[in-house]
Amino acid sequence: MRPELLNPLFTEVEALKGVGPQLAKALRRLGLERAVDLLFHLPTGAIERIRAPAASPVLLGRNVVLEVKPFEARQSSGRGPTRIYAADGEGNVITLAFFNAGGWAKKQLPLGEPRIVSGKLEAYGDQWQMVHPEVLEPGKGAEPPLREAVYPLTEGLTNKRLRELVAAALERAPEVAEWVEPSVLGRERWRPWRSALAEAHADPEAGSSRKRLAYDEIFANQLALQLLRQVSRRKRGLPLQGDGRLSARLNLPYELTGAQRRVVEEVRGDMAQAAPMLRLLQGDVGSGKTLVALLAMLNAVEAGAQAALLAPTEILARQHHATLLRQLDQIGVRVAILTGREKGRARDSVLMGLASGEIDILVGTHAIFQEKVGYRNLGLAVIDEQHRFGVSQRLLLSAKAERPPHLLVMTATPIPRTLTLTQYGEMDVSRIDEMPPGRSPVETRVISDERLGDVIDGLERHVAAGGQAYWVCPLVEESEGSDAAAAEERAAVLRQRFHGQVGLVHGRMKGPDKDAVMAAFAANQLAVLVATTVIEVGVDVPNATLMIVEGAERFGLAQLHQLRGRVGRGEGKSTCLLIRGQTLSETGRARLALMRETSDGFRIAEEDLKLRGPGEILGTRQSGEAAFRLATPEMLGELAPLATDDARLLLDRDGGLAGERGQAARLCLYLFERDQAVDLLRSG
Ligand code: ADP
Ligand code: MG
């Protein structure tokens, strides 16, 4: 349970003074639900103010704090502003203008009484003017600070109000024992946590304090991953050593690449140990990860255990199932599929087969790891994950099981090293850094959507020559259904030209309907597949050699890279057309140019990390998993390796986090809501 010390930070914002339902709603829009969220909502800039005795030309355009005496109020006719004329310390006339707030202004600025006004000093004709200044009675309340932090805001929330709320949240922040390694703290000259927090809010340029807070966040993340690793590795799994009798009978049309061979050996080595494997397999799209998974699963089956393969989508689960059936049926390995769609008797029979051991390999979506699904002897879990399977789910699978299966996570996006550390820090990493032979690079072109007609003509030639093509429509942000609508519209337009040769898949279609379309495309009964990004993941149709992406500037680069990876899988030359809108920002242009320039997935991912942040690459922006609130991508790059070492060192010395620093580190875990990791300590 969370230590009491931190409870004041985890109360809802409504507990703060003056926060009613209206304000709470505005705060929620910014994701500020509890006091702790306010603490981590750091300012993004600052307003500088100058306290001056009187207006003067050098102050034009600056934020100025002045003492004035109002002497005349004038309400303009119609919808014009109320103007209050006031004299500053040297007798200059300042016009204070208020729109739709005349009554309020007159009350705030009684004639003949001194007042302090603060606002931007402007010239209006030959007069000085301030529009909507803040007004204060001298001696009453604090003057606006000369340097004020500015926060990201939303409608119904002023900077002033937010500043007050942050101050209230800061008051709730306790003094805590130090969790940062003393040598790091000394070298970086970081302040203690609470004081760093206060400084980061007071001064948006307080680089050192921001860095410290980012470090804390990353440290909590790394420590949680290391704990997961420690607890998992301490458990006994099943040492599995296959004898090769099944894999020898596999009928493969090609040789393994060197990289595949090496990775398979690494996996076999891990699986032979009693400590459960925790391995991440990175390999670009099309590098042949499925085959590695297949050989690993056969290794388990040869050793008398069951294996499970988790796919991120229904479509992909079915495709994997079909591939495995084709290769394994003839050698007597029994493969079954289980997704949300298997119901009733079909489902029962799979469940029984798993429990009795009649099924050797199960393929499916997340349904395959639900509690109700009981395996006789699950020895290996392979997760073909495309990043949708988060840390907490991996945790459920390996750390909570009594006899955890060996775990192989496969990912197609080349993840920058920093992100590998923060996402998979508990795992060993294997890389497939070599493509199967015979792949020709995909030619990439960027085309303005003004030339859509030319694109469709080109598509016609491609289809006439017997080729197949993907046409991808972007996700439309405004409403959930409209991406499907956009794809439907595009399909309708293409059908006028290509008639029955056009298929359509999008996320709102029923599963069996999607499968039917995909199957028809794979069997070359359809020439053009119009799709939303549902096809991003894993489908394999070698005869499709043309990829058209509409609204390309709206995709992440890593996503475009994935899409492009759908083509270039067969013999023929492949092309990727990126159709862009007509208004394109500088960066938008540069990003698409990079796609044209390189097919190096790592370079593309690094670039995406810089431009869009980790959520985008990992596809986790929506799920909330792996979101760092304080650490920017640059900070992640600099601090993740350091925090990883620090976490490891701490656990080496004090695996139970029982010592003084260990206790402090527990607090850090709770602060960043890695409660599950602390729970592991108790159960492990
Ligand atoms: P991914 O790593 O994206 O999952 P796949 O496993 O789907 O890639 O493999 C992509 C394609 O490459 C498939 O058609 C597969 O049959 C083929 N392939 C895999 N390994 C080899 C190899 N060693 N030689 C030739 N083709 C291969
Ligand atoms: Mg794959």
List the structure tokens of 458: 């080109």
List the structure tokens of 263: 């990775």
Contact call for residues 366 and 313 (beta carbons, < 8 A): no
Do 144 and 2 lie in a common domain? no
Do 75 and 3 lie in a common domain? no
Residue 164's CATH number: 1.10.150
How far is the C-alpha of 38 from the C-alpha of 374, rounded, in Å? 44
What's the CA-to-centroid distance between 364 and ligand 1, angstroms?
A: 20
pLDDT tens string 207-231: 999 999 999 999 999 999 999 888 8
Residue 417 belongs to a domain:
no
Q: Residue 484 pLDDT > 70, yes or no? A: no
Residue 70 belongs to a domain:
yes
Helices (H), 57-192: 102-108, 159-172, 182-188
Do 38 and 134 lie in a common domain? no
> Which ligand 1 atom is the nearest neighbour of the CA of 542?
14
Do 36 and 49 lie in a common domain? no
Contact call for residues 451 and 530 (beta carbons, < 8 A): no
Residue 57's CATH number: 2.40.50.140
- Quick one: DSSP state of residue 352? H
For the chain, the residue count is: 684
Q: Residue 386 pLDDT > 70, yes or no? A: no
- From residue 199, how far is each of 9, 186, 195, 211, 316 by CA, in Å? 18, 18, 6, 12, 50
What's the CA-to-centroid distance between 289 and ligand 1, angstroms?
A: 7
- C-alpha 234: how far from its chain's center? 31
Q: Residue 396 pLDDT > 70, yes or no? A: no
Ligand nearest to the CA of 283: 1
For residue 637, give every residue at least 6 positions away whose Cβ sits within 8 Å of its Cβ, in sequence order, or none.
Answer: 416, 418
For residue 392, give every residue at least 6 positions away whose Cβ sits within 8 Å of its Cβ, in sequence order, or none.
Answer: 625, 676
Contact call for residues 104 and 98 (beta carbons, < 8 A): yes
- pLDDT, position 87: 96
- pLDDT, position 112: 95
Question: Average pLDDT for residues 487-499, to the nearest whole number?
Answer: 92
- Cβ count within 10 A of residue 438: 9
Picking from 550, 573, 598, the residue at the C-terminal end of a domain is 598
- pLDDT, position 368: 84
Ligand nearest to the CA of 522: 1
- pLDDT, position 389: 63
Confidence grade of residue 623 (pLDDT, cut at 50, 70, 90):
very low
How far is the C-alpha of 613 from the C-alpha of 610, rounded, in Å? 6
pLDDT: which is higher, 462 or 124: 462
- pLDDT, position 542: 85
How far is the C-alpha of 682 from the C-alpha of 669, rounded, in Å? 14
Residue from 263, 287, 323 whose mutation best tests the ligand 1 pocket (most atoms within 8 A of CB): 287
How far is the C-alpha of 409 from the C-alpha of 383, rounded, in Å? 5
Q: Residue 661 pLDDT > 60, yes or no? A: yes
Question: Average pLDDT for residues 170-185, to the nearest whole number?
Answer: 95
Q: Residue 57 pLDDT > 80, yes or no? A: yes
Q: Residue 22 pLDDT > 90, yes or no? A: yes
Give the residue whose CA is nearest to atom 11 of ligand 1: 286
Contact call for residues 428 and 279 (beta carbons, < 8 A): yes
Confidence grade of residue 400 (pLDDT, cut at 50, 70, 90):
low
- From residue 540, how far is each of 427, 467, 553 by CA, in Å? 28, 15, 25
Confidence grade of residue 507 (pLDDT, cut at 50, 70, 90):
confident
Do 20 and 146 lie in a common domain? no
Confidence grade of residue 618 (pLDDT, cut at 50, 70, 90):
low
Ligand nearest to the CA of 327: 1
How far is the C-alpha of 172 from the C-alpha of 208, rounded, in Å? 23
Confidence grade of residue 586 (pLDDT, cut at 50, 70, 90):
confident
The DSSP H or E segment spanning 282 is strand 278-283
Compute the mean pLDDT over every residue in the chain, rounded to the nearest whole number. Answer: 88
Do 143 and 159 lie in a common domain? no
Q: Residue 191 pLDDT > 80, yes or no? A: yes
For residue 483, give every residue at least 6 positions away whose Cβ sits within 8 Å of its Cβ, in sequence order, or none.
Answer: 473, 474, 475, 476, 506, 507, 532
Using DSSP, how many helices (H) and how many strands (E) does the chain show? 23, 22
Number of domains in the chain: 3
The answer to whether the CB of 569 is under 6 A from ligand 1 is yes
Residue 542 belongs to domain spanning: 442-598
Picking from 173, 208, 225, the residue at the C-terminal end of a domain is 173
- pLDDT, position 437: 87
Buried b / exposed e across 477-507, counting CB within 10 Å, b at 16+? eeeeeebbebbbebbeebbeebeeebbbbbb
Helix/strand/coil for 171: helix
The answer to whether the CB of 568 is under 6 A from ligand 1 is no
pLDDT tens string 253-291: 899 999 999 999 999 999 999 999 999 999 887 889 999
**Amino acid of residue 271:** M
**Amino acid of residue 400:** K
Q: Residue 234 pLDDT > 80, yes or no? A: yes
Helices (H), 205-283: 207-234, 258-271
Indicate the range of 34-48, 476-490, 497-511, 615-629 predicted with least confidence.
Answer: 615-629
Do 135 and 160 lie in a common domain? no
How far is the C-alpha of 676 from the C-alpha of 612, rounded, in Å? 28
Confidence grade of residue 180 (pLDDT, cut at 50, 70, 90):
very high
The answer to whether the CB of 287 is under 6 A from ligand 1 is yes
Confidence grade of residue 367 (pLDDT, cut at 50, 70, 90):
confident
What is the reported pTM? 0.76
Residue 286 gets the label, from left (phi > 0), alpha (psi -120 to 50) or beta, of: left
Q: Residue 622 pLDDT > 60, yes or no? A: no
How far is the C-alpha of 576 from the C-alpha of 356, rounded, in Å? 48
Helix/strand/coil for 8: helix
Residue 547 belongs to a domain:
yes
Helix/strand/coil for 421: helix
Q: Residue 329 pLDDT > 80, yes or no? A: yes
For residue 60, give every residue at least 6 positions away whose Cβ sits within 8 Å of its Cβ, in sequence order, or none.
Answer: 121, 122, 123
The answer to whether the CB of 540 is under 6 A from ligand 1 is yes
List the structure tokens of 376: 């006789």
The answer to whether the CB of 289 is under 6 A from ligand 1 is yes
Do 59 and 6 lie in a common domain? no
Confidence grade of residue 624 (pLDDT, cut at 50, 70, 90):
very low
List the structure tokens of 370: 């639900």
Helix/strand/coil for 465: coil
Helix/strand/coil for 74: strand
Partners of 46 in the β-ladder: 149
Q: Mapped to the 3 state alphabet, what secondary structure does 526-564 carry?
A: CCEEEECHHHHCCCCCCCEEEEEECCHHHCCHHHHHHHH
- pLDDT, position 483: 63
Residue 354 belongs to a domain:
no
Question: Average pLDDT for residues 81-97, to the nearest whole number?
Answer: 94
- Cβ count within 10 A of residue 608: 24
Picking from 562, 583, 598, the residue at the C-terminal end of a domain is 598
The answer to whether the CB of 326 is under 6 A from ligand 1 is no
Give the residue whose CA is nearest to atom 15 of ligand 1: 288
- pLDDT, position 376: 92
What's the CA-to-centroid distance between 557 and ligand 2, angstroms?
A: 19
Contact call for residues 538 and 363 (beta carbons, < 8 A): no
Do 450 and 576 lie in a common domain? yes
pLDDT tens string 132-168: 998 999 988 778 888 888 999 888 888 889 999 999 9
Residue 396 belongs to a domain:
no
The answer to whether the CB of 225 is under 6 A from ligand 1 is no
Helices (H), 574-627: 586-597, 601-612, 614-618
Ligand nearest to the CA of 413: 1
**Cα–Cα nearest to 200, from 180, 216, 187, 184:** 216
Helix/strand/coil for 579: strand
Contact call for residues 55 and 88 (beta carbons, < 8 A): yes
> Which ligand 1 atom is the nearest neighbour of the CA of 257?
23
Q: Token pair 């013999």 is at which residue?
A: 571
Contact call for residues 412 and 285 (beta carbons, < 8 A): yes
Question: Average pLDDT for residues 370-382, to the nearest whole number?
Answer: 88
Ligand nearest to the CA of 312: 2
What does DSSP say about strands 147-150 and 45-51: parallel, antiparallel, or unpaired? antiparallel
Confidence grade of residue 621 (pLDDT, cut at 50, 70, 90):
very low
Do 2 and 125 lie in a common domain? no
List the structure tokens of 291: 């085959």
Residue 514's CATH number: 3.40.50.300
Percent of the chain topping pLDDT 90: 59
Do 134 and 3 lie in a common domain? no
- Cβ count within 10 A of residue 142: 6
Residue 258 belongs to a domain:
no
Residue 340 belongs to a domain:
no
Do 168 and 137 lie in a common domain? no
Residue 343 burial (C-beta neighbours within 10 Å; 0-12, 13-18, 19+): exposed
> Which ligand 1 atom is the nearest neighbour of the CA of 384?
4
Helices (H), 304-451: 314-328, 344-356, 391-398, 417-424
**Cα–Cα nearest to 396, from 384, 387, 385, 405:** 405
The answer to whether the CB of 533 is under 6 A from ligand 1 is no
Helix/strand/coil for 678: helix
Give the residue whose CA is nearest to atom 25 of ligand 1: 436
What's the CA-to-centroid distance between 304 and ligand 1, angstroms?
A: 27
